[in-house]
Structure 1
């Protein structure tokens, strides 16, 4: 192959060199004899020098000269007779990434003649996620697939002071491929052509590390042949994916198991096993980011006698984590991505650091920026493309915790205190005035609070119907929990307790009492801090409901008495009625139904005095239940029947369900189990329709009792099983009792 290739090259230049066909044959023969003389030892000249001298003697172009050298003797492809093997040392302790490694393995080169096109892989992800580590680990593992060498360049795409120009990168590659300095063309276009000519029939690996964008990479790509190219970048490099058919690999943070393996490779399994809780805290604090884990592991390795718990404590909160990672220059790594942003994207990035997390929508981003969702679409795309944000669900963007801390730090150091406060104001306004109408849709019969005035022209996400309102709270639940806490901590106390009120319309029907307890504690503290009596009254009452459901009846009653006093000071009869209604329920739970009945009757009188028909109907139901609890079943049925008529007239489905449950209870106490079961079945259907899972489970248990009393064991078991499934989903301790009843009724 070598001599034939040389003959073709010389023939191509024959006319320019004034050579005849005989001259070409003679030159080829001379080349063959010269190489054989070197191999046999008859000539002392080094083999590499002989071949290169022959190439130069015929005045070949730089590209043809290197082709001749490679064709005459592939072992002489690189400088000084070596193949280029430029891969840097792979990072020790590489873990995980099995799926990504398999994807790279699928690009194993075939024979150049059979290779349809150059295989290109892009590895993208946020700073510190391990893109280079993956590329180099795979490259070393797969090096035997590339017998003619491996080329590597760090393009420094996010180092503004030292970004590598494609022309300079090509010079390095051409030198590695054996082109003498005098033979390297001056222009980028000529270097691209020479580079592609040299790689056209070779099987080589090119690792293009830390690329800025597709434009920086494109001149370095081979044009054909059996080469494989691996590109790492914080940019998604969508241009290469679209135009060159690159295969995208997007890296996320490590799994918890992979993070544990990484720490174990540096510190040993025994040290981690001795302090599992501290190890888990360290993994959580670093956000499972490989760079952060490696830096922390290095610090711990330097102090083998220190307890891991001390390191874990030093990493909280996020700001402390950034300081702890200072030795690894994490801020500088993040800054390279930040400095690559356009001004609008950089401003949005800083403002997003004010968001409580864990994720956000374009509407929330627009509120922070004081813009429209359409205006922030381009900056969001830019942040996502550079992996400073991740669109982890359609329309929902997530920050890594360290990047959020870095963004917030940028906002503080930029001296943007006024802009930060205005941005937070818009954000809390957005969440309140999107949550409030959703809350009213979920609980239209609840007496609503008076929300803070909306910020003019701020973005909103109004819910159109009950299902949309459910979807809003389900999607934003974790965000709103954090928003309440952040509002309380940053001087927006009224937003804190009003957002907490809105959340209760979602929490209570689902039995999310721990969430309600947590959020109302924050709300109450915020309202007390600024002496907001209305906020204190509402938060005390709603906190009491959670305390009662969690079994803290003494505390629940104290909260209700405090709320009642505040509502009286505020001259708020509706608030008093709501509180008395709740107090009636707590009295029943504490075994004082007669006292509870009095509170229920007082609530009924107050609701009627202000013309609150929905409250009146619900109080009639409470009174009916308490009549039944005291054994006065005729009055119980009369009061509940009146309540049910009003609720059917007003369309209060959830209220109807509760009243039907009370009627079922009264009929069951009278021994009328058939009628009780009918009431329970209708109540269960209505609770399910209004997505009130907690009370659906309660009524299912009573239905199970009625079916058992009727001797219908199979249907009783079915009711208890359905109740148990719901309570399991809600994490309610009552699930244990439901499972015990199922076991008793169906011991087999």
Structure 2
């Protein structure tokens, strides 16, 4: 949006982070890059952030039967938790589809999970799903977030992600389960790099490269024995049937090819039809095999048996349940909720819930949580095949359109609950088409929780909508998600891909307004991930389109976006020009909310230019508009922080404290932590200038903890600079040098010349006080070179001071 959080106050925002507890002399840290453990400095104890311990394993498999020898073999391989020289780092469970690889892996993981106190990571790589398999980069993003890395701090490149992932797992004892891998390339980037962690992989293929190069030990899972197969059927039907002949049970198991997936479906049908003798059920299953074509599989007999069981169970479903089952095969994402399933069929959610319960009872779908379900990949393929056989192309398209519309309108409801600054992009008449099953969100927390559950589905819906010719939904959905993504500050990969897909859809529609929205969204994604050149290109493209259209509100938004990019580059004259352009349009055409935000952004530019009275006027005008219009409370924090800064710099400390008190009262746990971090940073600066050094160190450290939690790398650098300046005031010069050096390292990658020049100036001052004139001169010389491109008064004053110190 602008102002304090993305780039206003002295301790401005950025990206990246160090996930550790830092508190003092950082010499060892500077060499290590990543920090592990605690580093202590002279001063109060640091605020400690909770380090997440991921517990991602699905629930253990109920009614698990057999595999005693296989479990014993796997446990023997992994005994002692993967200590070097004593156990293998990875086991690979292979076997045909439906043989029970996932169930065995989950059962094994639950049995050995206690040996890995640092947690368990689990992912279904979807290597054999009807949709695209999960790419390693996407998995690494999810794993890094589970390990406590904030979304903005996740590196862009897959290699950098893999490096960070291995660094975070180094020295830990963690269990990683990679289910349904199709290729070695899917697995290798996800492997821990050191001993202590263990990886369990399942695949239909041998993945020989993992054994040859990565030390995996393979266990090829065969069919259940006849005894184990009969035991599974008996265990599943014991409470419902009596007197079945063991020979008939064995015959039923044989017809199921002794595959656990098929056996469970057959057993469930036998359990729900206790009045039918087992020979009758077996005869029906035998007859079914003549009614369909075999699936493609390395073993046609097993594939035939599996599909026979699917068809046998499917054909006994009531027509509404059968229709729901096959239409679920068209669902774009990996799992689905009750309302999403209802949207596919156009039914009431209560009716749909009963049908889903019926399908789950028949083992045709699997529950994954409260009112959420997923397919086994073989069953999804079967359901999709049935949809193409039994539904017309028009009916299939209509089902997809209903589901996509449900996701769009539900996202719009979540957007409205999460914030009010970004309005709906849906036309007014769209309200009449709003599906009845769209849930009501009453709090931002509910909206964010829904988004967390649906993240993968939303990306899949955008892709599928574009492929199905639903181009309006393909751009409207990412545009609607814009406000949620900004509020959460996460999921940059998905956000970027959705916006690119939306832009392509808008171009196909020749809809220039939609294209401008997508360019602005891409500009925001690039700005927040510090790709400032690309951000400027997208905001400029949006500005050009909106200027041609005469879209005044849009021109103001794009000009504001460009202004913020210039501000982050410390191109203050260009930033002011763009923001004044936006302000003039907002004052004439509205809306008032954007007028208030633009005034605040201009206030920060005026402050950076040394125009303190003008900055104060802008801040008061902004705050007045926000209060008059009832803007979200978090929007009012920006001008309050600017006023606090201005009061502090003019020596009005009591007034500054009052403004900070007002800002603190507005913070809320539903806001992004960046707001609280900005408040803490200004509080720390005020305490430092009042010579309350111990309290300042506490406040700076609290700020650093928050900045680290959101991946605000530049914010961390500003906090380290504040610690360094406070340590210098206390006479702790080695510590001051260390923390300024840490800040400088952050600011070099990616290069941020203005902030780095200020940091080097502080570092040179500390080096001078410590009796190191050579080091001080080196830092001042580098700072002067960085300041060459900045003509503003603050940069000019700093340059003159450094030049004077060099010539003395």
TM tier, smaller: 0.5 to 0.7
Match of 2:309?
336
Which of these residues, 644, 648, 661, is aligned with residue 627 of structure 2?
A: 648
Query: Would the aligned equivalents of 2:466 and 2:505 in 1 still touch at CA under 8 Å?
Result: yes
Matches for 1:150-189 after TM superposition, within 5 Å: none
Cα distance in 2, alignment partners of residues 708 and 422 from structure 1: 63
| 1:572 matches 2:545 | no
Match of 2:659?
679
Which of these residues, 327, 338, 342, is aligned with residue 351 of structure 1?
A: 327
Measure how far apart 1:420 and its partner are: 1.5
Query: Would the aligned equivalents of 2:566 and 2:572 in 1 still touch at CA under 8 Å?
Result: yes
Which of these residues, 361, 374, 380, is aligned with residue 398 of structure 1?
A: 374
Match of 1:658?
638
Cα distance in 1, alignment partners of residues 440 and 73 from structure 2: 43
Measure how far apart 1:363 and its partner are: 0.6
Q: Deviations over 1:613-650 (max 9, x none)?
A: 21211122122122112111111111111111221222
Matches for 1:36-55 after TM superposition, within 5 Å: none
Cα distance in 2, alignment partners of residues 221 and 206 from structure 1: 14
Q: Go from structure 1 to structure 2 and tell me whether the alpha carbon gap of 1:701 and 1:482 turns closer, same or farther (over 3 Å shift).
A: farther
Match of 2:418?
442
Match of 1:477?
455
Cα distance in 2, alignment partners of residues 468 and 441 from structure 1: 8
Match of 1:219?
243
Cα distance in 2, alignment partners of residues 461 and 667 from structure 1: 46
Query: Would the aligned equivalents of 2:233 and 2:267 in 1 still touch at CA under 8 Å?
Result: no
Cα distance in 2, alignment partners of residues 338 and 734 from structure 1: 58
Which of these residues, 482, 498, 502, is aligned with residue 476 of structure 2?
A: 498
Cα distance in 2, alignment partners of residues 328 and 678 from structure 1: 78
Measure how far apart 1:466 and its partner are: 3.9
| 1:517 matches 2:496 | yes
Larger Rg: 1
Match of 1:630?
609
Matches for 1:56-135 after TM superposition, within 5 Å: 93-94=70-71, 127-129=98-100
Cα distance in 2, alignment partners of residues 235 and 686 from structure 1: 59
Query: Would the aligned equivalents of 1:681 and 1:703 in 2 still touch at CA under 8 Å?
Result: no
Q: Go from structure 1 to structure 2 and tell me whether the alpha carbon gap of 1:618 and 1:233 turns closer, same or farther (over 3 Å shift).
A: same
Match of 2:399?
423
Cα distance in 1, alignment partners of residues 308 and 653 from structure 2: 71
Matches for 1:725-740 after TM superposition, within 5 Å: 725-734=705-714, 737=717, 740=720
Cα distance in 2, alignment partners of residues 739 and 240 from structure 1: 64
Match of 1:388?
364
Matches for 1:571-720 after TM superposition, within 5 Å: 571-652=550-631, 653-672=633-652, 675-720=655-700
Measure how far apart 1:608 and its partner are: 2.2
Backbone CA RMSD of aligned residues:
3.9
Cα distance in 2, alignment partners of residues 711 and 363 from structure 1: 58
Measure how far apart 1:610 and its partner are: 2.1
Measure how far apart 1:325 and its partner are: 5.5
Matches for 1:183-198 after TM superposition, within 5 Å: none
Query: Would the aligned equivalents of 2:466 and 2:474 in 1 still touch at CA under 8 Å?
Result: yes
Measure how far apart 1:522 and its partner are: 2.4
Measure how far apart 1:575 and its partner are: 0.9
**TM-score for the superposition, normalised by structure 2:** 0.53
| 1:208 matches 2:231 | yes
Query: Would the aligned equivalents of 1:359 and 1:397 in 2 still touch at CA under 8 Å?
Result: yes
Match of 2:515?
536
SS in 1 for 2:359: helix
Match of 1:550?
529
Query: Would the aligned equivalents of 2:268 and 2:362 in 1 still touch at CA under 8 Å?
Result: no
Match of 2:255?
none
Q: Deviations over 1:517-572 (max 9, x none)?
A: 33322222222233221211011011101111211111111111100111122221
Match of 1:366?
342
Measure how far apart 1:354 and its partner are: 1.8
Query: Would the aligned equivalents of 2:634 and 2:667 in 1 still touch at CA under 8 Å?
Result: yes
Cα distance in 2, alignment partners of residues 534 and 743 from structure 1: 47
Q: Go from structure 1 to structure 2 and tell me whether the alpha carbon gap of 1:628 and 1:353 turns closer, same or farther (over 3 Å shift).
A: same
**TM-score for the superposition, normalised by structure 1:** 0.57
Q: Deviations over 1:697-716 (max 9, x none)?
A: 34433433333333334433
Q: Go from structure 1 to structure 2 and tell me whether the alpha carbon gap of 1:412 and 1:239 turns closer, same or farther (over 3 Å shift).
A: closer
Cα distance in 2, alignment partners of residues 458 and 334 from structure 1: 36
Cα distance in 1, alignment partners of residues 641 and 102 from structure 2: 59
Query: Would the aligned equivalents of 1:357 and 1:398 in 2 still touch at CA under 8 Å?
Result: no
Match of 1:285?
none
Cα distance in 2, alignment partners of residues 207 and 363 from structure 1: 38
Q: Which moved more, 1:493-502 or 1:726-735?
A: 726-735
User: Structure 2: which 5+ residue stretches go unaligned?
Assistant: 1-64, 76-96, 109-226, 247-259, 275-294, 728-734, 737-808
SS in 2 for 1:437: helix
Q: Deviations over 1:631-673 (max 9, x none)?
A: 1111111111111122122221121012222323333444545
Measure how far apart 1:425 and its partner are: 0.6
SS in 1 for 2:441: coil
How many residues end up aligned between the 2 structures?
Answer: 480
Q: Which moved more, 1:417-426 or 1:337-346?
A: 337-346
Cα distance in 2, alignment partners of residues 734 and 323 from structure 1: 53
Match of 2:84?
none
Cα distance in 1, alignment partners of residues 716 and 583 from structure 2: 36
SS in 2 for 1:358: coil
Which of these residues, 506, 529, 532, is aligned with residue 527 of structure 1?
A: 506
